[in-house]
Structure 1
Amino acid sequence: MKVKASELAAYVGGTLHGDDVLIDGTVVTDSRQATPRGLYAARIGENLDGHRFVTAAAESGAIAALVQYKRDWPLSQILVKDSTEALGLTAKFWVEKLRGASEDSMQVIGVTGSAGKTTTKDLMARIFSSQGPTIANVGSFNNEVGMPLTALRADEETRFLVCEMGADKIGDLEYLTSLVPLDVAVVLFVGTAHLGHFGSREAVAQAKSELISGLRSGGIAVLNYDDDNVRAMADLANGQIRYFSAQGNHAADFYATDIQVDDLGRASFTLHSAEGEYPLALGLVGEHHVSNALAAIAAAASLNVSVEAAVSAVAAAEPDSPHRMNTFERAGVRYIDDSYNANPDSLRAALKALHQLGPLGVGGRTIAVVGAMLELGEASDQLHADIGHIAVAEKIDFLLTVGDETIPTHGAAQQQIEAIHCGDIEEAKTRLYKLIQPGDTVLLKGSYGSKIWTIADEVTEELMPR
C-alpha cells in the first residue's frame, strides 16, 4: 500500500500524531511481520493488546501505526476509536484506489458457504493466477481481520483479488462486502456450520445471502443449483446469475455427469457448459470436490476466462491450504488430513471419502479419528450422534472419538462397528499410535479446537512414538 499518513487518517476518521510520512510497505497486525515503511495495526484482542508491540513493529521498520491510545512510540500514530474497524477501512480505501487506477482495474471475487470455501478459493486462485497477477487469502484467513489484510496485499499490478469470506453471525458478510464490494459472488451451500451462533438453517441462509447483496452494480452471482436455499438467493442478484450443479441438473450453466471415483478417492467427471463438454479428473480427494470445482470454473467463466483454461488449471490442482483433505503416507499407513475444521456437512463428506478410498493395503482397515464439531448449539448432541450413524453406514472399520462432545458419536456407533472413545487429544494419540498398522487408511477430522490437527502435524514430522 502507498499512501500519506494524513490521507489515511482522514479516510479512517482518525487523528495523525507525528510526521506525515509516506506509508509504502505492508500492513500487518503481527509486529513480527512488520516491514520497512509499512503500517502496523495495534489491535486489542480478547487475550492480548497489540499496543504492547508497537515499539517492536517500529524496530522492524514500520513507519506508522493505527492505535487506540497514544504513547511515546518511535513512529507516526493514527489515533482511532477501534483499530480493527480502522484496518477494515484501510482495506476499503486501498481497494477503491486500485479500482480507480485504470480501466483494466482489479476484479474482486468472493466466496462463502457452510463448507468448501477454502478449497474453492484455492481453485479460483489457481485459475485466475494463470490469467494474471492474483491475490487470495492465506488458508482460511477470512474474517474481519484476515479479509482486509488479504485485500491490502494487492498492488497496482493485481488483476484478481479472490476473497474467502466467513460468517459467524448475521451482518458479518454485509460488513466484509461493504469494505470490498464484489464483481463476482459465489455461494456454495447452506449447511449446519455455526448453528449454535445462528440458531437455524434459515438464519444461516440469511447470513450467506449477504454475499449476493454485496455485489457491485452489474455484478455476477454464482449459485449452487442443487441447494434450494442458495438457488433462492437469485432474487437478491442485481445482474447476471450463473448456476452450477454437481447433481447433473441440465438447468444449470455448468453441470457434471458421469462422476467416478478412482482407487485414490479422486473424482473425475464430464463438465457441461455453453462452451462445450470437457473431461475433468481432479487431483483432490473426495467426491464433494466436484461441486467446488464447478463453482470455481463458473466464477472464472463469469470474468471471461475460457472454460478450457479453467479446466486445465483445476485439473492440475492439489491441496494448497494445510489440513484440508491432504493425503500422505507414513510407515505404510495412509492418512487423510482434513483436520482444520469440521461441521456435519464436511464430516459426512470426509467419511464418504474414507469409505471410497478404502484401506491402503491387504488386511488394512479404515479408521476415522473424529473430534468435536463446535458451535452447534442445542443441536450438538443429535448432530454428533448422526455422525456415528454415518460412520456405520459408510462401513468404517474403526471409529476413534475424541472429547466430551463426541460421546453421542461413540454411542451411536459402538454396537455396530469397533469404537473407542478418548477423553482428550493426548489419550487419542496414545490409542491411535498403538492401533494403527501397515495397510490402514486413517481419517483425521475435527474442529480446530479439538486439536485433531496436532496428530497430523506429529505424523507428518514423524514425531509419533515407535
Structure 2
Amino acid sequence: MIELTLDDIARATSGRLVPGRDGSTASTVVEGESQTDSREVRPGQIFFARRGEETDGHRFAGQAVDSGAALLVVEREVDDRVAQIVVEDATDALGALATEVVRRALAAAADAHAADPDRPELTIVGITGSNGKTTTKNLVQAMAERLGPTVASAKSFNNEVGGPLTMLRVSAETRTLVAEMGASAEGEIARLTAMAPPRIGVVLSVGLAHAGEFGGIESTFRAKSEMVRDLPGTAVAVLNRDDPRVARMAELTRARVVWFGLGSDADVRAENVVSDAAGTRFTLHAGGEAAPVNFRVLGEHHVMNALAAAAVGLELGLPLAEVVASLEAATVAARWRMEVMGGRDGVTIVNDAYNASPDSMSAALRTLAQITAPGARSIAVLGEMSELGEFSIEEHRRIGLQAVRLGITELVVVGPEARHLHISAVNEGSWDGESVFFEDQDAAFEHLRRTLEPGDTVLVKSSNAAGLRRLGDRLGETYAVDAEGAES
C-alpha cells in the first residue's frame, strides 16, 4: 500500500481515530497490507474487523494485534494497544480506503509520467465474465509482469472484500493492477470499477453461472456489462466476439472495442485449434501477424481465455512474440482448474472441481472426451452446479444427457443436489455406459479405488460448494508417482 497517515485513513473511511497505547498519533504513517482474516495478519498491517453472517471480526482483533497489526478498523472500540479507527461499517470502510489508495496511486503515476514521459502510468485491467476470470487474470498477470511491477487478485479475490484487498496492495512502484471482478447481483461490478477504474475492461462470457442469484440471464448480462458501461473514450473494452451477449456490449460503451474469438472478424483470434491431453495448439492472429502457440493448459475452452489475455497483453505494449512466450510458459489454469494429477498405471486424474456452471461443466466434459485415448475409458465424477436457482434441475439434466451423448464410459454422480444429473443419464436408453450415484465423497472414492483400471482418464468437476476438489486431490494422491516414476 502507498504510505498514508492514520489521519489520512480516518478521513478516507469517514472514521474516528482513537490513538493506541503504542504511542501512535494522527501523523503516524502506515503502509502495510490490509487483512480481514486475523490469521493472515503480519507486522505493520491493517486489520478490518468485519461482521459476517457466521462470525464477527471484532472477536479476533486481539489476535490481529498479537500478530503485529499496526491499525484496527473497527465498528466499536476493542483493543487499545494500537490505534483504532471506528467506522459505521468495516466493509464499506475497506472499499473507501481502496478507492483512496487507487486514486492517489493513479495521480502520482500521472504526475511522474508528465515529468518523465518514459515513465509509464499505472494501468488498471478489470476482468469479468461468467467463466474463466481467474484463468485469464493469471495469464494477464504473467504478461504484465514482463513489463514491470504488477498487483493482481490473489486466488479468486473478486468481490466486495477481495477486490479492495487486492487494490490496497498497490504501491508507488506498481505499473499494472489486474483486478478480477465478480458479482452475484447487479451493481457489484459497478462498485468495483468505481474503486479502480479500468483502462482495459475485459468481458469473457455471459452464462448461467450464479443465474439463481442474478434472477436470470438478462440480469446477468446487465451485471457483466457494468464492466464497460462507464469506460471513457480513452479506454479499451476487450470483448468476446463469439458470445452474442458480450458482443451486444459494444453498443453500451464509449471505449474502443477490441474483439477476441475464433471467427475471422475478431481482432485477436485463433485458427487451427487442436486439443489433446498435452494441451491445445493453435495459430494466434493479431495486428496482421500470426504465430503458432503451444498452450499447455488443458481444455480447448481455455483458448478463449488465452485470446482475451493476448488482447490485453498487446494493449499493454507487449510484442506478439512475448505474448506467445508468456502463453506457452503457462502450464495450469489455476489450482483445481483442469489440474492434471495421477499418472500411476497410466491413470490420469483431471481435478477441475474449484467451480462449475453449465458452460464450464459442458466444456470440461468435451475435454474429457477429447483427451481420452482411443479404446481407453473415460470417467466423469460430477457434483452439484450451485447457484442456478430455477434453472438447476433443467441444467443438471442437460449435463447428464451430454455425458451420454459424448460417449463417456462411466458417470459417477456425488451428492443429493446432483441426483437429477444421474437420473437423466440413466433414462437415456441408448447409452451403453453406466451411471452410479453416491451420497458422499467417501463412498464415491471407495468405488473409484476399486474399479479404476490402467489407462483410465478421470474428470472430477463440481461447484466449489460441493467440495469435490478434495475428492480429486485424494484420487490424485492415490495414483501419484514420484520423480522416479514409482508409486508415491
Q: TM-score range by the shorter chain?
A: over 0.9
Amino acid at match of 1:12: T
| In 1: Cα distance, 2:144 partner to 2:226 partner | 24
Q: CA deviation at 1:372?
A: 0.1
2:36 paired with 1:29? yes
User: 2:404 — aligned with what?
Assistant: 392
Report 1:137-152 matches (<5 A): 137-152=153-168
Deviations 1:203-257 (A, max 9, x none): 11111000112435511000001111101101222221100112xx222111111
**Superposition CA RMSD, Å:** 1.7
Q: CA deviation at 1:461?
A: 4.3
- Comparing 318-327 with 368-377, greater Cα deviation is found at 318-327
Pair 1:78–1:217, CA change in 2 (3 A)? farther
2:364 paired with 1:357? no
| In 1: Cα distance, 2:368 partner to 2:182 partner | 27
User: 2:265 — aligned with what?
Assistant: 251
Pick from 150, 169, 173 the counterpart of residue 157 of structure 1.
173
User: 1:339 — aligned with what?
Assistant: 353
Residues 349, 476 of structure 2: 8 Å contact kept: no
| In 1: Cα distance, 2:230 partner to 2:85 partner | 29
SS at match of 2:237: strand
Report 1:86-165 matches (<5 A): 86-102=93-109, 103=113, 104-165=120-181
Pick from 66, 79, 85 the counterpart of residue 59 of structure 1.
66
Runs of at least 5 residues in structure 2 that lack an aligned partner in the other structure: 20-24, 114-119, 481-487
SS at match of 1:285: coil
Deviations 1:265-323 (A, max 9, x none): 52111111114111111111111111111100111212222222111101111125210
User: 2:193 — aligned with what?
Assistant: 177
Equivalenced residue count is: 460
SS at match of 1:270: strand
Amino acid at match of 2:315: S
2:312 paired with 1:299? yes
Amino acid at match of 1:393: R
Pick from 452, 455, 458 the counterpart of residue 474 of structure 2.
458
Deviations 1:409-465 (A, max 9, x none): 11121242211011122222222222222211110100011110111232344499x
User: 1:348 — aligned with what?
Assistant: 362
Normalised to the residue count of structure 2, the TM-score between the two structures is 0.91
User: 1:322 — aligned with what?
Assistant: 335
SS at match of 2:296: strand
Q: Percent identity?
A: 39
Pick from 370, 387, 391 the counterpart of residue 375 of structure 1.
387
| In 2: Cα distance, 1:90 partner to 1:216 partner | 23
Normalised to the residue count of structure 1, the TM-score between the two structures is 0.95
| In 2: Cα distance, 1:463 partner to 1:306 partner | 41
- Comparing 177-186 with 15-24, greater Cα deviation is found at 15-24
Residues 380, 405 of structure 1: 8 Å contact kept: no
Runs of at least 5 residues in structure 1 that lack an aligned partner in the other structure: none
User: 2:483 — aligned with what?
Assistant: none
| In 2: Cα distance, 1:330 partner to 1:78 partner | 53
Deviations 1:170-227 (A, max 9, x none): 1110111111110100101111101111222111111100011243551100000111
Residues 425, 450 of structure 1: 8 Å contact kept: no
| In 2: Cα distance, 1:453 partner to 1:444 partner | 7
Residues 259, 268 of structure 2: 8 Å contact kept: yes
Q: CA deviation at 1:363?
A: 6.2
2:46 paired with 1:39? yes
Residues 342, 479 of structure 2: 8 Å contact kept: no
| In 2: Cα distance, 1:195 partner to 1:53 partner | 35
User: 2:485 — aligned with what?
Assistant: none
Provide runs of 4+ in structure 1 moved above 6 Å: none
2:245 paired with 1:229? yes
2:286 paired with 1:285? no
